[in-house]
Amino acid sequence: MKRGRWKVWRKPWATPLLSHKTASLLATLSFTLTAGVLILTQSRSAYIGVATGLIVLAISRNRWFWLSVPLLAAIALARAWSLGAESFLNSILMLDVTGTAAGRFEVWQRALYMIQDFPYTGVGLNMFPYVGDAMYPYFLSGPNARVPHAHNDFLQVAVDLGIPGLIAYLALLMTFCLCTWRVYRGSQSRSIRLLAIGLFSGMLAHQVYMDSPMP
């Protein structure tokens, strides 16, 4: 009797919500929309983040994709050698309001000043441009530059929420990585493994985008 009830209970969960054709159509539409928005942003840091996520996703499917990592590193080193260190930094650190690599470093320096002065509470959400102009004027970008954020995810979290907020944010990231790793290594379902590595690759792409020095 219990066995029959168990079969009846399992059957609705075993039925897919969408057919394979419908799911493929929705996935194609979602990919097209997301790719279109990504192209329209013209954000190099977003491109690098997506490329990083795709490389990790490819490595999870085939270990031979590890060869792409030293290849990309060699290309970057060759580019830096041909341009020189300063010109290479300026070429990749093209900023919206800071102009050069020195300008970006000035923004990061102001973020560190805010963290030092407000280590426990931070300056508050979305207060970086106002506090920066009022208390830490920019010499390279001008006194009224109104730089919107710290151009670095970890610095921005520490500026907004203080050191305790940064610790909590890092704890959430580490917990997420640990959970996805355990699911990826322990699950016998191919779909769940793909979902886990896809979520991890997406989070990695987001972190690379947020922490990249490029716009």
57-114 per-position pLDDT tens digit: 888 877 777 677 676 667 666 656 665 555 555 555 554 444 456 677 888 888 999 9
**Are the CB atoms for 122 and 161 separated by under 8 Å?**
yes
pLDDT in tens, 7-35: 444 445 556 666 777 878 888 898 888 88
- Supply the pLDDT for residue 38: 82
CB atoms within 10 A of CB 57: 18
Name the residue with higher pLDDT: 119 or 105: 119
Q: How confident is the model at residue 165 (pLDDT cuts 50, 70, 90)?
A: very high
List, in sequence order, the alpha helices (H) in the chain: 2-14, 20-41, 44-61, 68-83, 85-92, 101-117, 128-135, 153-186, 190-211
Q: How confident is the model at residue 131 (pLDDT cuts 50, 70, 90)?
A: confident
Q: What is the pTM of this model?
A: 0.69
Name the residue with higher pLDDT: 145 or 148: 148
Name the residue with higher pLDDT: 191 or 123: 123
| Cα–Cα distance for residue pair 67/208, rounded to 1 Å | 20
- Supply the pLDDT for residue 114: 92
CB atoms within 10 A of CB 183: 17
pLDDT over threshold 70, residue 154: yes
**Are the CB atoms for 204 and 52 separated by under 8 Å?**
yes
pLDDT over threshold 90, residue 162: yes
Q: How confident is the model at residue 172 (pLDDT cuts 50, 70, 90)?
A: very high
Across 194-212, average pLDDT = 83
